[in-house]
Structure 1
Amino acid sequence: MSEHSWFIVAIVAYLATMLYIGWRGYRRTVDYDDYVLGGRGLHPFVAALSASASDMSGWLLMGLPGAIYLSGLSQAWIAIGLFIGATANWVFTAPRLRAYTHIARDSLTVPTFFEARVRDSSHLLRVTAGIIILVFFTFYVSSGMVAGGRYWESTFDGSYLTGMLIVAGVTVAYTLVGGFVAVANTDTVQGIIMFLALVAVPAVALAYLMGQGLSFTEVLTYPAGHAYPGSADGGVDGTWFAMTEGLPALTIIGLAGWGLGYFGQPHVIVRFMALRRPAEARQGLVYGAAWQFICLAGAMLVALIATGFFDVTGARIADQASYETVFLDMSRFLLHPLLAGLVLTAVLAAIMSTISSQLLVSSTALVEDLYRGLVNKNLRARWSMPLSRAAVLLVALVAAILAADPENSILDLVGFAWAGFGSAFGPLVIAALYWRRLNAPGAMAGMVTGAVVSFAWGSSALTDVVYEIIPGVAAATVAMVAVTLLTPKPDEAILAEFDRAAAAAKL
């Protein structure tokens, strides 16, 4: 069989597995609570891996290795910030959010929790949050579909549109049918695939180079003493390993500041809400931190080994601009076509895990936060699940229309979508969980200010000075605190509920 045929076998097996998991999820989905949050019965291992896989996307396997290969370890600040942010999210957000969302009217979505937390009878806070989620995630889902089409195009030399429709179709199918259970379980499998690929490929590459006569030390210090394909300065002046070389302090703060975004990412923190018990957040922390540390280290090791690998072997790097294919090209050179095809599915897994999670959160925002919040406050339970499935399809169709043109400027929005959510929701989530004094006007002021400042900053030349999440989070925090302190205190019922939730989080 040709390499192409082996790749097809691997991809078909992977897609069939995803559809099977979706069908199993459908059989376990009985009511609306199951469809949206899996009946709050998520095992911490599944919660940790699904949360990690859904937020990393193809950046972990392509973007990060390419950036570090090209520019050195100065590009690792994002990875460091993300690891710290994800770990802190499990420590500070997970147990309290799981307890509080259950106590606060059994909230099923992040916007619904915001409303219940501050008793916003106007529903304005919930609706505004739902609109922010729907707008950002529609474009985010679309960007994932574009990535799926590009993946298909580069891997199989096929049609962009065909690949986009296949990747989107399978993802939509298991999300629409199986709901949260299917999304969480497929994300877990996808997380395992990504983990194995990022451990195996650098290990095999290291062994191969040592078999070619290089010592362990020579492989791991190669860019310090050798020019290599793509190196801007010959790689021989030692700057590859200098993490602060040529980077202003504001740039480093901005790169590491990506970690601040975790507290406000709806598709990540919804996993905390679905845990079986608040106390299981401790286990989730261990699983999640271990997965992320090893995967990030694996991606950086791929970049380091690649500097010597492509120089010594003479293998070609397909992407000669940003070098984002070093992981894929290394896999194709080293492994049997079937194994290489399975490694290639790791990239597809990263793309699909993000699309599915964002689709589900978008659909619940449309039904639970906008339709129920604005149109039909007494929506019957038996209609909620069919409407949510219809909403998945609707959001996917809009995203697919936008993605049909791969040159569309929607990809420009992806860079600050993370900052938008982190700025709008991050400070509010932390305040809602830890600040008794928070009230509805302060929550609204912080959320809107964070979204506006982040969007405006990211759309201007200022984004080249410092990443927009830094001013976005700062402005949101100041606005939220100032407005809260200038307006009436919450009533005793809200304060009593806060205390119950804080106590429940410690159980």
Structure 2
Amino acid sequence: MSDNTWFIIAIIIYMLVMVLIGYWSYRKTEKYDDYMLAGRGLNPFVAAMSAGASDMSGWLLMGLPGALYVTGMSELWIAIGLTIGAWANWMWVAPRLRSYTEVSGDSITLPSFFESRLRDKSRTLRIVAALIIIIFFTFYISSGMVAGGVYWESTFGGDYWVGMAVVAGVTVLYTFIGGFLAVSYTDAVQGTIMFFSLIIVPLFAYFALANPADIWSFAASNDYGPYTDGIGNPTYFSLISGVSFAAIVGNLAWGLGYFGQPHIVVRFMALRSPAEAKQGRRIGISWMILCLFGATFTALISTVYFAQHPEHTVTDTESYESIFLDLANVLFHPLIAGLILTAVLAAIMSTMSSQLLVTASSLIEDLLKAVKKDDLSEKTLITLSRATVIVLAIVAGLMAVNPSDSILGLVGFAWAGFGSAFGPIILAMLYWKRLNAPGAISGMITGAVVAIGWGMSPLSDTLYEIVPGFIAAAVVMVVVTMATKEPQQEILDEFETARKLSKVVESKEDIDFRQAAKEI
């Protein structure tokens, strides 16, 4: 059989498993809350793995290795910033958000939590938050479809459009069928596939080198990839050479984005109890660190491997985002390579599915229900949510037909938008009693506008837009809040209830969380 036939067999096996999980989830999804948040019943392993898989996307196996391959170790500042940010998110946001959403209207989306937390009867806060989610997630979903097209080209030498359509189609199918439960469990499986693939591929590539020690010096003085002038990339191994202080700050600031990513923090809202955030943090951060090591060594080893094996070529010679795929293709039997290559599909699909569902929930839960006075039945809400998933996929697909940026560029723009608009607001919602609706609304709009404006200007070449966006949102939020009316006593009392609940659960991890929420 040809290599492509083996690849297709592996991918069919993978796709069938994803669809079967979707069907299993469909059988367990009876209510609208089940479809959107899995009845708040995620165990910490599934929550951690699904958060990690939906976070990393095709960026982990394609965008990051490509950036490290082309630029060098200075791109590691992004990985360092992300690791710190992910840890902080699990530490400070996860347990408090789970507690607060339980006592504040049993919220199932971030915008509905914002509205309930600040008692915004105008619905402006909820609608603005939903619009920001819809705008930035459309770009984010589009980046996943671009990754799907690149994957198909690299793996099969096939058509970009066909690959984009196949990957998007299966993702939409299981998301459409099974909702949040399907998304979470498929993400957990996909995260496991990503983990083992990022260990196996660089390990086998390392031992396939004639002199493995070359990886620590080769790129700095030899031609490889985009470097063809005989001197290589002299600053490849330096974290700071040739990199401005602003660039380092901007890359580290990727970690700030975690506080505002709806598709990640929604996992915290779905945990069975705030106490399980501790176990989730240990699992999630361990997974993340090992995966980032794998992506880094994939890039490092590729600088030597492809230079010393000219018979093997890199498919993507612009961004070099296909090096993980290309290594797997040349190192393994086609069936094994096909199974490993599903890791990229897993990364792409896990993120797309989460984003599709969160965006659909914002359209239905936060826009439609906010403007429609009549209550809709559970069945109608689920049907509308499923239809929205399809519409969103079509819109994002049209944007991805002729991508104007790399995968990392598209992800970076959306990541900065969410981090700037929601990051300061979520932290203030959980830890600042004085916050009010005008301050939250002003901060959100400011963060989104500054991130978009900065990102579309030449200034983005100097400093990543999340830095000015996050700072501007925080400053405006504080200034407007302090200049306007204090929150009602009801809001202050609820804040204290959520804080006490979080403390109680932290000190008594085996306590009945829902009963404690009723008694406090």
Same fold (TM over 0.5): yes
Pair 1:264–1:235, CA change in 2 (3 A) = farther
Which string of whole-angstrom CA distances, capped at 9 and with x for unpartnered residues, describes residues 149-202 of structure 1? 332233223333332222111111100110000000111111111111100011
Deviation at 1:26, TM superposition (A): 0.5
Contact kept in structure 1, 2:154 and 2:325, CA below 8 Å: no
Contact kept in structure 2, 1:443 and 1:480, CA below 8 Å: yes
- Alignment partners' CA distance in 1, 2:10 and 2:259: 36
Aligned mate of 1:395, from 380, 392, 397: 392
Specify the alignment match of 1:489 in structure 2: 486
Specify the alignment match of 1:283 in structure 2: 279
Specify the alignment match of 2:471 in structure 1: 474
Contact kept in structure 2, 1:223 and 1:235, CA below 8 Å: no
Pair 1:452–1:97, CA change in 2 (3 A) = same
SS at match of 1:62: helix
Return the TM-score normalized by structure 2.
Answer: 0.93
- Alignment partners' CA distance in 2, 1:47 and 1:108: 15
- Alignment partners' CA distance in 1, 2:374 and 2:284: 37
Deviation at 1:275, TM superposition (A): 0.3
The 5 A counterparts of 1:344-359 are 344-359=341-356
| Paired AA for residue 344 in structure 1 | L
| Paired AA for residue 73 in structure 1 | M
Contact kept in structure 2, 1:54 and 1:353, CA below 8 Å: yes
- Alignment partners' CA distance in 1, 2:224 and 2:150: 27
Deviation at 1:357, TM superposition (A): 0.5
Specify the alignment match of 1:133 in structure 2: 133
- Alignment partners' CA distance in 1, 2:436 and 2:262: 21
Contact kept in structure 2, 1:70 and 1:232, CA below 8 Å: no
Specify the alignment match of 1:424 in structure 2: 421
Deviation at 1:409, TM superposition (A): 7.5
SS at match of 2:240: coil
- Alignment partners' CA distance in 1, 2:213 and 2:406: 44
Specify the alignment match of 2:512 in structure 1: none
The 5 A counterparts of 1:9-158 are 9-158=9-158
Deviation at 1:268, TM superposition (A): 0.7
Deviation at 1:435, TM superposition (A): 0.4
Deviation at 1:237, TM superposition (A): 7.7
The 5 A counterparts of 1:313-324 are 313-314=309-310, 315-324=312-321
Aligned mate of 2:267, from 271, 283, 290: 271
Which string of whole-angstrom CA distances, capped at 9 and with x for unpartnered residues, describes residues 212-237 of structure 1? 3x2x5444443345444434675678
SS at match of 2:367: helix
Pair 1:460–1:470, CA change in 2 (3 A) = same
SS at match of 1:239: coil
Contact kept in structure 2, 1:127 and 1:374, CA below 8 Å: no
Pair 1:169–1:264, CA change in 2 (3 A) = same
- Alignment partners' CA distance in 1, 2:224 and 2:392: 45
Matched, 1:294 2:290: yes
SS at match of 1:60: helix
Deviation at 1:120, TM superposition (A): 0.4
Moved more, 264-273 or 489-498: 489-498
Identity %: 55
Pair 1:280–1:233, CA change in 2 (3 A) = farther
| Paired AA for residue 121 in structure 1 | K
SS at match of 2:201: helix
Which string of whole-angstrom CA distances, capped at 9 and with x for unpartnered residues, describes residues 380-433 of structure 1? 434322221122122223223333x32467987544111111101000000000
Pair 1:474–1:3, CA change in 2 (3 A) = same
Contact kept in structure 1, 2:146 and 2:403, CA below 8 Å: no
| Paired AA for residue 175 in structure 1 | T
| Paired AA for residue 366 in structure 1 | L
Aligned mate of 2:326, from 326, 329, 342: 329
Where structure 2 has 5 or more consecutive residues not aligned to the other structure, the ranges are: 506-520
Pair 1:222–1:407, CA change in 2 (3 A) = closer
| Paired AA for residue 98 in structure 2 | R
Where structure 1 has 5 or more consecutive residues not aligned to the other structure, the ranges are: none
Deviation at 1:52, TM superposition (A): 1.0
Moved more, 139-148 or 15-24: 139-148
Q: CA RMSD in A?
A: 1.9
Deviation at 1:308, TM superposition (A): 1.9
Contact kept in structure 1, 2:222 and 2:233, CA below 8 Å: no
| Paired AA for residue 296 in structure 2 | M
- Alignment partners' CA distance in 1, 2:219 and 2:397: 42
- Alignment partners' CA distance in 2, 1:157 and 1:338: 17
Pair 1:13–1:260, CA change in 2 (3 A) = same
Matched, 1:450 2:456: no
Specify the alignment match of 1:343 in structure 2: 340
Aligned residues: 502
Contact kept in structure 2, 1:29 and 1:35, CA below 8 Å: yes
Aligned mate of 2:495, from 476, 495, 498: 498
| Paired AA for residue 153 in structure 1 | E
Which string of whole-angstrom CA distances, capped at 9 and with x for unpartnered residues, describes residues 119-166 of structure 1? 101111001111111122123223322322332233223333332222
Specify the alignment match of 1:250 in structure 2: 246
| Paired AA for residue 207 in structure 2 | A
- Alignment partners' CA distance in 2, 1:66 and 1:450: 29
